[in-house]
Structure 1
Amino acid sequence: MDQLNMGLAVVGGLVLVAGLLSSPLDRSVLSGPMLAFLIGVLLGPHGAAWLDPSAWGDARQILEHTARITLGISLMGIALRLPPDYPFAHWRSLLLLLGIGMPSMFLISSLLTHWVLGLPLLLALLVGGTVCATDPVVASSIVTGGVAKENLPESFRYLLSSESGANDGLAYPLVLLPILLMTLPGQDAWLDWLGKVWLWEVGAGLVAGGVMGWAAGHALRWSERHRFLDQPSFLSITVALTLLVLGVGELIGTNSILGVFAAGLAFDQQVGGKDRSEEDNVQEAVNILLTLPVFVLFGLIAPWAAWWALGVEGLLLAVLVLLLRRLPLLLLLRRGLPSLRDWPITWIMGWFGPIGASALYYGSFVSSRTGLDLAWTAGSLIVLASMLAHGMTAAPLARRYGRWQRQRR
């Protein structure tokens, strides 16, 4: 019971501080996820030892489920933040980023892991799949908040938001592919991947999420017409929709994370444009409340001994993944992305592809399903490097771009 009360006090205190100091934190080099991680380290077994996650059960599995809920809440927030017609008006850019960019980031990360750590290719693919998605939680530091809105163009923020919203769920087939190849005969693995994973888990997940989002939006309109709904209930509806899709998706065996994003987009088609400023504010408040705990938990269970065992190669891998996984690719794809209208914003888009809660989720997912900890160890080390590098550079890069734009006028 003391552990529970301590955990509640830590999370409540952290969210309170983050809320009261939201503007200074937004403008500082210390991001919310990094602050949460440091608090977890400080209070965990490697710090003051006030919280011991090993006493709670399987800490890695707790992190997996916590990260899944965190991603769901964050993806719903992204879907509601986007203009309702954005995915349809900019489908070519999204197709380029998701159809070419994401598989390329998967292969680049895998090959870097294979080369630096000397792992067999299938094991390297597990690591590559774990870290290939652009994380919506850490990315929020450069697409929301005063600094981002004052300095960065909407077109960039919408593009990064929509990419990070979609590719968290689409990373799932890339993570599953090496797992299937390691556990099934070759032909069976490919048939299972194309049929069960893509057609059912991804395809049916999108349809199920879209249907539930459309139905919830339609029900909201009906309730408003009959004056059954008080406006403050809007927040509870979006959170409830997130939890509904996450639960139903898992029960029917589909990709619930991708389903949440589809549900949010479909819901927004029904209700988009109504009191959007208030909607953004309340949704961001929920994001802060429900996304920081996963990074506290990450700090509590961070595998310091396993990171140390990776040695210099682990550090080199983290640096190379951050530098080469995304930036060269975005420079090559720039001509097909109208939102990247100048070179500075292309460099920012190329650099700022953070790795965070999604990698924690997939690293835990791989560990629980294969018994192999390498994807978790390497993936979580890259998450730490990303939180440091991207958290420290988000506000300075945004301000510098804003100054550059103002000087051009």
Structure 2
Amino acid sequence: MQLSSFAPDPYILILTGAGLLIALVAWLPLALKRLPLSLPIVCIGIGAAIFSLPAVTLRPLPLDYPDFTERFTEFVVIIALMGAGLKLDRPFSWRKWSVTWRLLAITMPIGILAITALGGWMLGLSWVAALLLAASLAPTDPVLASDVQVGPPKTGEEDEVRFGLTSEAGLNDGFAFPFVHLAIALGLATTTGKPWAGQWLLHNVLWEIGAGLIGGWLIGRLFGWLTFHVPADTKLSRTGDGLIAIAATFVSYGVTELIHCYGFLAVFVTALTLRRSHRDHEFNRQMHDITEQVERLAMMVLLLLFGGALVNGLLRPLQLVDVAAAAAILLIIRPIGGLIALAGFKARFSEKITLAFFGIRGVGSFYYLAYGLNHMELTVGERLWAIVGLVALLSILLHGLTVTPVMRQLDRSQGRDPDADDAAPPPSRREPASA
């Protein structure tokens, strides 16, 4: 073979790049553990560098690939929701989850109202576009918030702050969806003139939330029985194969979407129910670990593409007022809404301000905006993507640079050593012969 005819095989390049990406997935979290730097920041930087190369001609702008953007962000979110639900050690109850209800019932509606008003009056958007922007940016993100979430199952890393941020991110994705559908319904009503309120309230709110909760619980019960409670020779926990969590994720999301309810909500409820089936079993750690690995790999691919979109003009449509609005969303609206919700809650002010401040935005916002734009016609799609992209970028930078020192100080204030080795998985638990 002549050297002059040598040309890199794209397949080989893809394999090499995939290997390097997987190596980074395994190594970077360890390297960044004590640094004021987060994995998402590094991923965006790498993506920006790759897509700035002259040889790379792909422009991964979301409006150029609307269906892929919606589906890929959807995939990353549902994996993250399963991981978040499996992490939570705290049993479900209205009283023990009071911090969650405060953030969902008070902080998120405040965010939706405030961002809608900001979009309509300050940014000059139509009220439909402003509402879609608000519905996309009000919920916190379950994907990019791993540094402020609880640790793996049974590691003891579940203080009130980490629990609140994890449970909020798990549930608010489902509860934000009705407002995305409200924006779509209002957008369609302006062109068709058809009534929308009854359909929205009965189907998009009552049915889709109710069926999502019940469907997620039933599927979680089924997988919990198959995993822990069928006769000993065939129970799935004996396989040691944590991939069953991925199976539960896909089945829960697929079945509930087939009956037209909120799959995001169903997946998180499935995860909670599956964990509740045998809360202390070591297999919960195995299910969590495989879910976290898949989530981290998918997240890194998405953030590489996000970095590529940034250097290919994603933020070009921004106006100066949009930058001010993005800062207000992160630094004023979320913190104030969080502190209002936590008024009277029994916690130190340092814990309340941490809960209020770390309202991380990211992949969930990308999904909601992609979904909304794919289901209605808006002429301001590029500007909405620029605003959401800027808010996500600022959130990743702001929260990523502050999360390590803030959470380490929180651990010290609660008597934990942030430099101690990670807790080992719980010891093997022998099952009774009659199980």
TM-score (norm. length: structure 2):
0.83
Identity of aligned residues (%): 28
Correspondence for 2:359 among 353, 361, 371? 353
Query: Which residue of 2 is the match for residue 212 of structure 1?
Result: 219
Does residue 385 (structure 1) correspond to residue 394 (structure 2)? The answer is yes
Shift of 1:90: 2.3
Correspondence 1:184-263 to 2 at 5 A: 184=189, 188-223=195-230, 225-229=232-236, 231=238, 233-263=240-270
* Amino acid corresponding to residue 244 of structure 1 in structure 2: V
Does the aligned pair in 2 maintain the 1:43–1:49 contact within 8 Å?
A: no
More helix by share: 1
Tell me the SS of whatever aligns to 2:33.
helix
Q: Structure 1 pair 77/382, CA: closer, same or farther in 2 (3 Å)? A: same
Does residue 113 (structure 1) correspond to residue 119 (structure 2)? The answer is yes
Single out whichever of 164-173 and 280-289 deviates more from structure 2. 280-289
Correspondence for 2:167 among 158, 162, 171? 162
Correspondence for 1:40 among 30, 33, 47? 47
Tell me the SS of whatever aligns to 1:307.
coil
* Amino acid corresponding to residue 177 of structure 1 in structure 2: L
Correspondence 1:257-272 to 2 at 5 A: 257-272=264-279
Query: Which residue of 2 is the match for residue 285 of structure 1?
Result: 293
Does residue 328 (structure 1) correspond to residue 336 (structure 2)? The answer is yes
| Whole-angstrom distance in 2 between the partners of 1:8 and 1:110 | 45
Does residue 123 (structure 1) correspond to residue 137 (structure 2)? The answer is no
| Whole-angstrom distance in 2 between the partners of 1:236 and 1:40 | 29
The size of the alignment, in residue pairs, is: 401
Q: Structure 1 pair 230/347, CA: closer, same or farther in 2 (3 Å)? A: closer
* Amino acid corresponding to residue 114 of structure 1 in structure 2: G
* Amino acid corresponding to residue 330 of structure 1 in structure 2: G
Correspondence for 2:313 among 305, 310, 314? 305
Q: Structure 1 pair 178/302, CA: closer, same or farther in 2 (3 Å)? A: same
Q: Structure 1 pair 251/84, CA: closer, same or farther in 2 (3 Å)? A: same
Query: Which residue of 2 is the match for residue 399 of structure 1?
Result: 408
Shift of 1:213: 1.2
Shift of 1:105: 1.1
* Amino acid corresponding to residue 343 of structure 2 in structure 1: R
* Amino acid corresponding to residue 393 of structure 1 in structure 2: T
Shift of 1:95: 2.3
Does residue 98 (structure 1) correspond to residue 104 (structure 2)? The answer is yes
| Whole-angstrom distance in 1 between the partners of 2:82 and 2:231 | 21
Does the aligned pair in 2 maintain the 1:306–1:377 contact within 8 Å?
A: yes
Unmatched tracts of structure 1, length 5 or more = none
* Amino acid corresponding to residue 389 of structure 2 in structure 1: S
Unmatched tracts of structure 2, length 5 or more = 1-7, 417-435
Shift of 1:163: 0.6
Q: Structure 1 pair 230/38, CA: closer, same or farther in 2 (3 Å)? A: same
Does residue 134 (structure 1) correspond to residue 140 (structure 2)? The answer is yes
Deviations 1:149-208 (A, max 9, x none): 89x862211111001100012111111112211212677221121011012222212221
| Whole-angstrom distance in 2 between the partners of 1:299 and 1:95 | 34
Query: Which residue of 2 is the match for residue 22 of structure 1?
Result: 29
| Whole-angstrom distance in 2 between the partners of 1:51 and 1:7 | 15
Tell me the SS of whatever aligns to 1:106.
helix
Does the aligned pair in 2 maintain the 1:53–1:301 contact within 8 Å?
A: yes
| Whole-angstrom distance in 1 between the partners of 2:310 and 2:326 | 16
Query: Which residue of 1 is the match for residue 373 of structure 2?
Result: 367
Shift of 1:130: 0.7
Deviations 1:229-269 (A, max 9, x none): 46454411101111112222332222111111111112122
Does the aligned pair in 2 maintain the 1:87–1:94 contact within 8 Å?
A: no
Q: Which has the larger radius of gyration?
A: 2
Tell me the SS of whatever aligns to 2:315.
helix
Single out whichever of 14-23 and 207-216 deviates more from structure 2. 14-23
Query: Which residue of 2 is the match for residue 315 of structure 1?
Result: 323
Single out whichever of 111-120 and 203-212 deviates more from structure 2. 111-120
Shift of 1:63: 2.0
Single out whichever of 97-106 and 109-118 deviates more from structure 2. 109-118
Shift of 1:393: 0.9
Does the aligned pair in 2 maintain the 1:110–1:128 contact within 8 Å?
A: yes
| Whole-angstrom distance in 2 between the partners of 1:58 and 1:304 | 12
Q: Structure 1 pair 118/212, CA: closer, same or farther in 2 (3 Å)? A: same
Single out whichever of 69-78 and 221-230 deviates more from structure 2. 221-230
Does the aligned pair in 1 maintain the 2:317–2:386 contact within 8 Å?
A: no
| Whole-angstrom distance in 2 between the partners of 1:382 and 1:91 | 28
TM-score (norm. length: structure 1):
0.88
Deviations 1:320-375 (A, max 9, x none): 1101221112222223433xx11111111111010011001111112211233143
Does the aligned pair in 2 maintain the 1:160–1:349 contact within 8 Å?
A: yes
* Amino acid corresponding to residue 375 of structure 1 in structure 2: L
Does the aligned pair in 2 maintain the 1:109–1:128 contact within 8 Å?
A: yes
Single out whichever of 163-172 and 13-22 deviates more from structure 2. 13-22
Single out whichever of 173-182 and 304-313 deviates more from structure 2. 304-313
Query: Which residue of 2 is the match for residue 61 of structure 1?
Result: 67
Single out whichever of 376-385 and 88-97 deviates more from structure 2. 88-97
Tell me the SS of whatever aligns to 1:137.
coil
| Whole-angstrom distance in 1 between the partners of 2:405 and 2:296 | 21
